[in-house]
A = this chain, B = another copy of it.
Amino acid sequence: MSLAGGLPATELYPVTDVQEAAHAAIARHGPAIMEYGPVEGLLALRQLIAARTSAETGGVFMAANVLLTTGSMQALDLIGKVLIDPGELIVAQSPTYLGALDAWRPRSPSYLPLDWDLTDPDFDAALARAKFVYSVPNYSNPTGVLVSQARRIALLDKVVEAGTWLVEDDPYLSMQLDGSPGPSILSHAVARSTGKGPYDGPVLYLGTVSKSLVPGLRVGWVIAEAGMIQNLARTKMASDLSGSLLTQAIALELMERDFDHQHTNVTVPVYRERRDALLREANLLLSEWFEWDVPVGGMFVWMRSKGRAIDTDALYKFAVEEKVAYVPSSVFDFTGEDRFAMRVNFTRSSPEVIAEGVRRLARAIEHYLSARRQHDRARSL
């Protein structure tokens, strides 16, 4: 059984609603959604996302501020193509979403971990050289951390001062297990701006329906100032000509009647129950060796080995023998140093399966420690 994946619960997918939305979308738009692009995506969906963003942030967002993408992953790829010249510096929340590291690898960037204390003057100098800052403030993958409002505002101040860009990746927004995370960094950027015109701030905000509806539509979006949207759209044109207007039109049908928000009323209680089942069993069986913060949203618990006693790369072999999987911290670490934590998913499996997974993890740890003791004894003979 796998506690490794980063997927929503398949059995909660609103299959019939998507089916009805597909029928309605084709009836409504007809041949217009059988065409290539526009590369920026379906205008009505861009307008809806702009209107929602205006309402949520208090700013002025137009369709010109929105580019639709093949999930947020394509947005990361396009941002890499537009912003990163080979070897340039990215300041990134660390540990970092694996997909972002993958997307940007062809540009061979260098990375500096984002120090949230923001007090180091060397950090200011680095920020001035950086092409952008990458942050997942809501329930980050892999750590599940929620970044405080004070830190969001302080980071934005630094970004504005340095004259760089900030990429705010927000795929887990709908997965609020314990209350609202508060305003996005984009909202703070709106609040800072003095003009009354369309948004022209330094934040590129990435949204998606992958968690609020279904991943398979592959509908995500970038919100940014209009010139940046044009640059990203030109680059998208050279990457796939355009996304599928059909899947965008399905998302439009569902979002127009606020179905994505309503659907979270179904999913969130399920995910909360699963998180709690994981933590209950982990408190019993894993807390001798691991510690963690309770995530208030998202899909993951980030378990850190106490005193760095357990190498989660080395533990993995023993977990596989117990037929349980997690993701070791090393894959999220651009410094390559963190081998003492693991990402454990709680959205994909039932509470019973999760509890069994934790029991297997506990056995794997016992076997790993026992093998290491034997090894150490053999060496000391």
Note all chain B residues with C-beta closer than 8 A to A74: 239-240
Per-residue CB proximity of A204-245 to B under 8 Å, as 1/0? 000000100011111000000000000000000111111111
A357 to B215, CA, bound (A): 45
- Which of these, B13, B22, B34, B70, contacts A240 with CB under 8 Å? B70
Which residues of the partner chain B approach A32 to less than 8 Å between Cβ atoms? 10
Q: Which of B34, B69, B243 contacts A18 (CB 8 A)?
A: B34
Chain A interfacial positions (CB closer than 8 Å to B): 7, 10-11, 13, 15, 18-19, 22-23, 26-27, 30-36, 69-71, 73-74, 77, 81, 99, 102-103, 105-106, 210, 214-218, 237-247, 250
Pick from B31, B73, B99: contact of A15, CB below 8 A: B31
Contact in complex: B31, A13 (CB < 8 Å):
yes
Distance A69 CA – B243 CA, assembled complex (angstroms): 11
Question: How distant is A367 from chain B, measured CB to nearest CB, in Å?
Answer: 32
- Contacts A102-B237, A246-B247 given; indicate if A31 touches B11 (C-beta within 8 A): yes
Which 3 A-B residue pairs are closest in the complex by CB-CB distance? A34-B214, A102-B238, A34-B216
Overall SS of chain A's interface = helix
User: In whole angstroms, how far apart are the Cα atoms of A344 and B173 in the complex?
Assistant: 48
Partner of A27, one of B7, B19, B216: B19
Q: Note all chain B residues with C-beta closer than 8 A to A10.
A: 31-32, 34-35
21 contacts between A and B (CB under 8 A): A7-B35, A10-B35, A13-B31, A15-B34, A18-B246, A22-B246, A31-B214, A34-B214, A36-B215, A69-B240, A70-B70, A70-B244, A71-B241, A73-B241, A74-B239, A99-B238, A102-B238, A105-B238, A216-B244, A216-B246, A246-B250
**What residue in chain B is nearest A218 (Cβ atoms)?**
B244
Name A33's closest neighbour in chain B (CB-CB).
B216
Tell me, in angstroms, the Cα distance from A97 to B210 when the chains sit together. 34
A69, A99, A218 — which one has the most chain B CB atoms within 10 A of its CB?
A218
The CA-CA distance from A13 to B246 in the complex, in Å, is: 13
Q: How far is the CB of A84 from chain B (nearest CB, A)?
A: 11
Instruction: Given A73-B239, A243-B218, decide whether A19 and B15 contact each other with a Cβ distance below 8 A.
Output: no
Which residues from B are CB-within-8-Å of A27? 19
Since A71-B241, A102-B238, A239-B239 are in contact, a sample of 20 more A-B pairs with Cβ atoms closer than 8 Å, ordered by chain A residue number, is A7-B36, A10-B35, A13-B31, A15-B30, A15-B31, A19-B22, A19-B26, A34-B216, A35-B215, A36-B215, A36-B216, A71-B240, A73-B239, A73-B241, A74-B240, A77-B238, A81-B106, A103-B238, A217-B246, A247-B247
Nearest CB on B from A19, distance (A) = 4
Q: Which residues of B contact A214 (CB under 8 A)?
A: 31, 34-35
Q: Given contacts A18-B26, A19-B23, A246-B247, are A73 and B240 in contact (CB under 8 A)?
A: yes
Q: How close is A144's CB to chain B, nearest CB, in angstroms?
A: 20
